[in-house]
Amino acid sequence: MSYENGKIPVLHEVDLEVQRGSLVAICGPSGCGKSTLLHLIAGLDQPTRGQVLHDGQSLHRDRDLTLLLRSRIGLVFQLHNLIADLTLTENCLIPAIAAGLPKGEARLRLARLTTATGLQHRLGNRIQDLSGGERQRTALCRALMNDPQLILADEPTGALDEDSREQVFALLVDLVRSAGRTLIMATHDRSLADRCDRVVEMKDGRILS
């Protein structure tokens, strides 16, 4: 995978297979390609060579499949990518309504997710008025609104204090263990990585182990 038409090579011969229902951490120094790899898996970027398969099917084979996969994949962006002028509730309802979830059901899900992440008192706040850690948890709630089979989380706890970090990780672990979801999480947090089923070590765009 490279950026700017091959001028900036980022990933090299990356070969990764993740089992459904597992909890995988991706670790490695800043700039090694963790976010790039998550974006490829999500279908936001396309590999220069090779392919990304979900349940054996190519992500970009046709548009319908891509649309289907979009609602089956929840991505927590490292920089959150929330809409600053809108409220927490509005940010989270957008993907749910886009996916066709009835508004009442969407609000119920949001209530459950915000309670699980300690954000229930911030529903009506605009993103620009939230703290960094609150934004990070909002981004997680938004990613989980459509109950995705595959959760891709890019540093989901980087801005959190220890209690919030534990709360968020417990929610993610529960989704994997109880609901059979799959989690791939980029993290610099070794103690969290060590609690995952598997740690994928990256360096200079390659997978070491």
Ligand X SMILES: Nc1ncnc2c1ncn2[C@@H]1O[C@H](COP(=O)(O)OP(=O)(O)OP(=O)(O)O)[C@@H](O)[C@H]1O
Give 153 or 172: the residue with its C-beta nearer to Mg ion. Answer: 153
Point out which residues bind ligand X (CB under 6 A): 3-4, 8, 10, 28, 30-36, 78
SS3 for 99? coil
Residue 91 in contact with Mg ion, rule: CB under 5 A: no
Q: Which is nearer to Mg ion, 101 or 183 (CB)?
A: 183
Of residues 79 and 108, the one with the C-beta less far from ligand X: 79
Look at residue 63 and give the partner it binds from ligand X, Mg ion, none, a contact being a CB closer than 5 to 8 Å depending on partner kind.
none
CB of 147 to ligand X, least distance (A): 26
Q: Is position 157 an interface residue for Mg ion (rule: CB under 5 A)? A: no
- Is the Cβ of residue 119 or residue 143 nearer to ligand X in the bound state? 143
Least separation, in Å, of the C-beta of 202 and ligand X?
7
Instruction: For residue 136, state whether it binds Mg ion (rule: CB under 5 A).
Output: no
Rounded CA separation 5/114 (Å)? 41
Beta carbon nearer to Mg ion, 34 or 181: 34
**Residue 30 interacts with, from Mg ion, ligand X, none (CB under 5-8 Å by kind):** ligand X
Q: How far apart are CA 116 and CA 186, in angstroms?
A: 21
71 binding Mg ion? (CB under 5 A)? no
Closest Cα partner for 135 from 178, 88, 201? 88
Query: Which residues lie across from 54 on neighbouring strands?
Result: 57
Is residue 89 a contact residue for Mg ion (CB under 5 A)? no
DSSP string, 133-187: HHHHHHHHHHHHTT--SEEEEESTTTT--HHHHHHHHHHHHHHHHTT--EEEEE-
Decide: residue 1, CB within 10 A, 0-12 exposed, 13-18 middle, 19+ buried.
buried
Count of residues engaged in binding Mg ion, rule: CB under 5 A:
3
What is the enclosing helix (H) or strand (E) of 206?
strand 206-207
